[in-house]
Amino acid sequence: MDQPSLFPVICQEPPEPIHVPISRWLLTVYSRDILSRLDHIKASITSTFGSILKMDSTKKITKKLAGHGRGTALWLTSISNEVGQVLTSVLTVQEGPGLDRMVSGVMERYRQACVTAPVLLYVDCGCCVSEGESKLQTRFAQWPDIHIRLDIWHFMRRLAVGCTTDAHPLYTTFMGCLSACIFEWDAGDLSLLRQAKREQLRQEGVPALTDLLVDRRITKKELSQYCRRRTRGEEGTISLIEQLLQTLEGPKGRDLMGVPLLEQVRMEHIWRVQKRHVKCIQDVPGVQLYTVTGTTTTKGGVVLTRYRCARGSTSLESFHCHLNRFIPGTSANALNFQLYLLEGLNRWNQDRGTAVVTSKPSSLLTYAGDVVQCLVLESCLVLTTC
């Protein structure tokens, strides 16, 4: 740029482009890295236990199985604990007898580790039968004291089938009222949250504070974080659901165009069949479903405690939604399929374990157990030397 403008500017020739590895090479290196840590990954997964278990199956992930393994597995079934960590995840041809070896392996793991058997198991089907023992009770025969409960969200979805369409204006109201028929909020937690919200609104200068205004300003997220819930009992739940269905079968169950929310004949049949499962969705007396996360929040000068709920299989449903992200692309052969699944499952468990003790993400940028162990040993050595 310092040369006179009459002379041409001489620029240095650009360097030769660097050869970029192809995607197949990168996947090969990643697979070999997983194979080098396979023993640690398997040990980490098989060292996971829990007192409240959830079991669920999905067919979405098996569609990515390609090569010679295509069509050899139709179901992926997982068992997780109360904090969302996965104890085991297996591929089977069918959902019934194909799970016997998986369940036997989990029970044997508890026995060898001398860990107390879980007290509660949430499932999406097969919770009870009218006579004798269910298949799940027979499958978990080594744990005779375990309580098998139906996931409440699946129970609500079964009743929702009796609606004409989920696009009906009253559908959301129906699901909310159905939830209120099943659950009731803890009076002490709700009173404390109302007090905190009232003080917060008063500090913000909101005039004419009434109980109705305070309740409207409380969000669903605040309720789920700071308030505990419990089921209403079998008789109370049945009575409230029947009252709700009778109300919505009348004029109050129609939109402005006169379209009814409920298919009356179909809903009557569904409720007649699902009524016996109301007993299966009740909380087990004496089983603690809520744990304190260890963090508190101050709103309006009132200290609120955060709770984590272990009820239902929502965490396992979330895990299955993330399974497709564990396996890149649209297909993988049998070896890569299992490698990606193991690595993704191990990372999922580590993230859930970190979330139990802190609300902040982990400062470590690696999931390799040997690297983390080496870092811990070096840190301890430095502290000892100092």
Residue 271 pLDDT > 90: yes
Q: What is the pLDDT of residue 20?
A: 85
301 versus 361: the higher-pLDDT residue is 301
End-to-end CA distance of the chain: 56
Question: In 204-295, where does DSSP find H-type helix?
Answer: 211-217, 220-226, 234-248, 264-274
pLDDT over 70, % of the chain: 92
Q: Is 22 helix (H, G, I), strand (E, B) or coil?
A: coil
Angle at 321 between CA 146 and CA 343, to 5 degrees: 85
Average pLDDT value for residue range 302-320: 87
Banded model confidence at residue 362, pLDDT cuts 50, 70, 90: low
Q: Which of 118-127, 158-167, 179-188, 371-380 has the lowest mean pLDDT?
A: 371-380
Residue 299 pLDDT > 60: yes
C-alpha gyration radius of the chain: 27
Into which CATH architecture does domain 41-150+312-358 fall? 2-Layer Sandwich (3.30)
Average pLDDT value for residue range 296-308: 87
Residue 217 pLDDT > 70: yes
Average pLDDT value for residue range 358-377: 69
pTM assigned to the model: 0.84
Q: What is the pLDDT of residue 211?
A: 87
Q: What are the structure tokens assigned to 254, written together?
A: 């129609």
Banded model confidence at residue 208, pLDDT cuts 50, 70, 90: confident
Are 215 and 191 in contact by the 8 Å Cβ rule? The answer is no
Q: What is the pLDDT of residue 132?
A: 72
Banded model confidence at residue 269, pLDDT cuts 50, 70, 90: very high
7 versus 176: the higher-pLDDT residue is 176
Which tens digits make up the pLDDT trace of 144-178? 889 999 999 999 999 999 999 999 999 999 999 99
Banded model confidence at residue 384, pLDDT cuts 50, 70, 90: low
Angle at 105 between CA 100 and CA 110, to 5 degrees: 130
357 versus 187: the higher-pLDDT residue is 187
Residue 62 pLDDT > 90: no
Average pLDDT value for residue range 332-338: 86
Phi and psi at 124, nearest 5°, equal -105, -5
Residue 179 pLDDT > 60: yes
Q: What is the pLDDT of residue 162?
A: 93
Banded model confidence at residue 382, pLDDT cuts 50, 70, 90: low
Residue 109 pLDDT > 70: yes
Measured distance CA(239)–CA(131) in Å, rounded: 24
Measured distance CA(29)–CA(107) in Å, rounded: 36
Average pLDDT value for residue range 349-376: 73
Q: What is the pLDDT of residue 24?
A: 84
Average pLDDT value for residue range 312-320: 84
Residue 49 pLDDT > 90: yes
Mean pLDDT of the chain: 86
Q: What is the pLDDT of residue 369?
A: 65
Which tens digits make up the pLDDT trace of 50-59? 999 999 888 8
Other Cβ atoms closer than 10 A to 180: 13
Q: Which of 5-14, 25-34, 130-139 has the lowest mean pLDDT?
A: 5-14
Residue 350 pLDDT > 80: yes
Buried-state track 285-298, b at ≥16 Cβ within 10 A, e below 16:
eeeebbeebeeeee
Residue 283 pLDDT > 70: yes
Residue 230 pLDDT > 90: yes
pLDDT over 90, % of the chain: 38
